[in-house]
Structure 1
């Protein structure tokens, strides 16, 4: 398997987090962008840094993102310490609980946050809006693209 500098891991049920992850990957030349279901411990071990992109569901990290961490946590424990990470949370309201949960997992792995958390609020509050496909505003996609570029460049330059 070819080593990947930046690994972008995402989960999305309604398209918002996927659009943000793809925008980040467009900015991060050479990054590997994988759905959470496709991530293995080997992929995490081969990466130099991580961008986790996922939705907040019912005030928590989505089940598929959590399941990826559950599968990969112990095989990677003590083997990825100090590697940089950043996050993008797509939420219908504040996204803070999912962000906190993800940071606690990253703390256990001893990862190093290198960018402020990004939370994209879609303001979806009704069952219909929550379940509907999401369209992310261009300025937020640009923010994701810039974050991906900054992470990839920082890894390539040895800053992180």
Structure 2
């Protein structure tokens, strides 16, 4: 168990094309309050990962995988932070057209390499978009799913503040 921190930093890294992941990340950030640092995947720097106490990775599943820009963020940051963030907590928020398991597995493999600890079960929001028009259309995330994202952000921030992880 780590020491409690009055001012923890929960880095919420997100990518979105249709608005679903952005809404989910924003809900998590609202839940985390002052602890949240909400940063798009394209703007995330290794230094941000090093400075954070915990992470929420939020992206869509595209073609059974995490989105390309989220993968690119991991590609840029992987080696610069390797060996320096072990034991930190993480959670995932995935906007999916079907099961979201592919994106979850990919992020979990990277988190395993970094030796992060999953502290919340994956949150996969299935928006059931299966035809091209639905897949590329702007998305509205159901309120109950946004509430779940909010609660994950709040729980992670509180767990960091209390030194639970």
Superposition TM-score tier, normalisation by shorter sequence: over 0.9
Normalising to structure 1: TM-score of the pair?
A: 0.97
- Does 1:111 find its partner at 2:127? no
Tell me if the contact between 2:8 and 2:157 (Cα under 8 Å) persists in the aligned partners: no
Q: Is 2:60 the partner of 1:55?
A: yes
Normalising by structure 2, report the TM-score: 0.94
Shift of 1:4: 5.6
Number of corresponding residues: 158
Which residue of 2 is the match for residue 9 of structure 1?
Answer: 13
Q: 1:116-155 to 2 correspondence within 5 Å?
A: 116-155=121-160
Match of 1:69 among 59, 66, 74: 74
- Pairwise CA distance, 1:5: 1.3
Q: Does 1:27 align with 2:31?
A: yes
1:77-107 Cα offsets, whole Å, 9 max, x none, are 0000000000011000000011001100000
SS of equivalent residue, structure 2 residue 75: helix
CA distance in 2, matches of 1:118, 1:83: 19
1:44 is aligned to 2:54: no
The Cα shift of 1:119 comes to 0.4
RMSD across aligned positions (CA): 0.9
Corresponding residue for residue 96 of structure 2 = 91
Structure 2: which 5+ residue stretches go unaligned? 1-6
